[in-house]
């Protein structure tokens, strides 16, 4: 019975202004094939021949690597062995033909020699390629900033146990073949700078490096992180992995409050200081992004800032609400709710709904109650916290169900 396998047509595109090339699948060209399909097998055979010749491996051993489930491309198409070999000749920065730095196992300019184990060398390069695919590449014109040496350590920890050693040279090789922007640092040396998002790399490095502080928020988690981890774990257990991953289109997420707050960094007042601390904590993944003032209050309840820092945050919210015409009053998270059946007083049964929310400072609560009893309909909401009662008030013109809070300005203007 023929086994269904997937194959992809490849097209070479010019990706970077430096004339680097990447092999990517043309959209819409994926076709179902059977295992005896000529083009699938021919591509694998040609790759195996090229790899066998380049590494001094037997053809059958090379073909076994080409067919390994780990080498089929997890976050993109199958890595092309002939392209990998060509890159070492033709790449504008690390290609031997360019006459520049020559790449070897330890990086550029070092001994230009490679040591191939002839069992898993190609599979490992395919895995390093997938590890690199997980990151967002830097935008055109942006300078690469992540050292190949630090990426190589991240790669071997992330890919363990599939690939427990990654040389600096192989990391650079895979990045070059993938068409990532690459630059030589001004001080020379064997390491190059690779054009992947520095923040995303730092996130992954902290996740996989024991002894480093784990990120507490995940806004810098690379798009392909979970998919690749799941695939590697599934394949490690000997199960096939079928999932297909598509890089999400870059969305410009709406977060006007966050953007406004970050913009206040540098002001010479308490709001400026608060904005500076907030921005630094977001950069370090110490806490998440506050899309809204509500989310900022939730973050503050979690990190328990000093009373001064909390007050500065409250002032920032007040200023944002004063200067943003379509801002909405603040709501806090609900802690608990209950509905109690009660006897009506002669007019039938009813119930009492009670909801408790955090107060803004987090030391007390906001209590919302509805008496739904015939003849005794009452709706009430109140702040059960002395501090917050002095600092916040309920916005006008809203029903009890739709309550919202506004900061009371220091001068009592609100």
Residues that bind Zn ion (CB under 5 A): 359, 361, 363-364, 385, 387-388
Contact call for residues 99 and 66 (beta carbons, < 8 A): no
Nearer to Zn ion, 335 or 342 (CB): 335
> Which is closer to Zn ion, CB of 288 or CB of 362?
362
Instruction: Report residue 392 as tokens.
Output: 């916040």
Looking at residue 147, the DSSP 8-state letter turns out to be E
Residue-by-residue DSSP string for 315-378:
HHHHHHHHH-TT---B---EEEEEEEEE--SSS--EEEEEEEEE-TTSSSEEEEEEEE-TT--E
Pairwise CA distance, residues 48 & 42, whole Å:
10
Comparison of 33 and 395: residue with beta carbon closer to Zn ion:
395
Output the smallest distance, CB 359 to Zn ion, in A: 3
Handedness of CA 381, 386, 388, 393 (dihedral sign): positive
- Residue nearer to Zn ion on the CB measure, 211 or 307: 307
Closer CB to Zn ion, residue 262 or residue 388?
Answer: 388
SS3 103: strand
Q: Kindly tell me which of 47 and 391 has the beta carbon lying closer to Zn ion.
A: 391
CB of residue 336 vs Zn ion: minimum separation in angstroms?
A: 17
- Minimal distance in Å, beta carbon 365 to Zn ion? 8
Beta carbon of residue 274, minimum distance to Zn ion (angstroms, whole number): 18
Write down the least CB distance from residue 407 to Zn ion, Å: 12
CA distance 122 to 112: 18
Residue 275: CB minimum distance to Zn ion, A: 23
């Amino acid at each position: 019975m023929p086994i269904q396998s997937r194959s992809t047509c490849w097209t070479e595109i010019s990706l970077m202004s430096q004339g680097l090339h990447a092999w990517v699948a043309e959209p819409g060209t994926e076709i179902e094939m059977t295992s005896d399909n000529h083009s699938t097998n021919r591509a694998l055979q040609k790759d195996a021949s090229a790899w066998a010749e380049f590494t001094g491996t037997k053809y059958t051993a090379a073909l076994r690597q080409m067919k390994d489930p780990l080498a089929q491309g997890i976050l993109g198409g199958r890595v092309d062995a002939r392209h990998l070999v060509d890159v070492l000749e033709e790449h504008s920065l690390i290609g031997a033909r360019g006459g520049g730095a020559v790449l070897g196992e330890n990086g550029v300019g070092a001994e230009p020699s490679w040591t191939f184990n002839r069992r898993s060398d190609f599979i490992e390069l395919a895995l390093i390629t997938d590890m690199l695919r997980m990151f967002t590449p830097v935008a055109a014109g942006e300078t690469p900033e992540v050292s190949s040496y630090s990426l190589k350590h991240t790669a071997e920890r992330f890919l363990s146990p599939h690939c427990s050693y990654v040389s600096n040279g192989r990391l650079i090789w895979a990045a070059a073949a993938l068409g990532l922007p690459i630059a030589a640092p001004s001080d020379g040396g064997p390491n190059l700078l690779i054009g992947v998002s520095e923040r995303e790399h730092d996130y992954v490095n902290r996740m996989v490096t024991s002894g480093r502080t784990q990120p507490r928020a995940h806004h810098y988690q690379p798009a392909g992180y979970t998919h690749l981890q799941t695939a590697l774990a599934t394949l490690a257990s000997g199960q096939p992995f079928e999932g297909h991953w598509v890089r999400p289109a870059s969305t410009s997420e709406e977060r006007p409050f966050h953007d406004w707050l970050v913009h206040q960094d540098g002001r010479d007042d308490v709001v400026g200081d608060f904005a500076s601390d907030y921005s630094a904590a977001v950069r370090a993944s110490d806490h998440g992004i506050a899309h809204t003032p509500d989310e900022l209050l939730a973050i503050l309840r979690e990190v328990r800032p000093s009373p001064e820092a909390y007050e500065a945050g409250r002032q920032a919210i007040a200023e944002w609400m004063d200067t943003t015409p379509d801002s909405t009053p603040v709501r806090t998270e609900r802690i608990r709710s209950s509905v109690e059946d009660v006897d009506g007083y002669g007019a039938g049964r009813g119930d009492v709904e009670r909801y408790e929310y955090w107060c803004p400072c987090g030391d007390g609560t906001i209590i919302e109650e509805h008496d739904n009893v015939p003849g005794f309909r009452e709706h009430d909401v109140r702040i059960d916290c002395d501090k917050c009662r002095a600092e916040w008030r309920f916005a006008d013109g809203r029903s009890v169900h739709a309550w919202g809070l506004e900061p009371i300005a220091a001068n009592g203007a609100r």
